[in-house]
A = this chain, B = another copy of it.
Amino acid sequence: MVKKTGRPAYLQIADDLREQVRGGSLAPGAPLPSTAQLAEQYDASLSVVKMAVGILRNEGLLIGQQGKGVFVRDEESSESGQVTAVDLVSEVIELRTAVRDLSQRLARVESTLSERSDQ
Contacts and interface: CB of A to CB of B under 8 A. Distances in A.
A113 B117 CA distance: 11
Interface residues of A, number: 24
Contact of A88 (B88, B102, B103): B88
A36 interface: no
Q: Is the interface of A mostly helix, strand, loop or mixed?
A: helix
Contacts of A89: 83, 88
Contacts of A113: 109, 112-113
Interface string A102-115: 11011001101100
A30 interface: no
Contact of A106 (B84, B96, B109, B112): B109
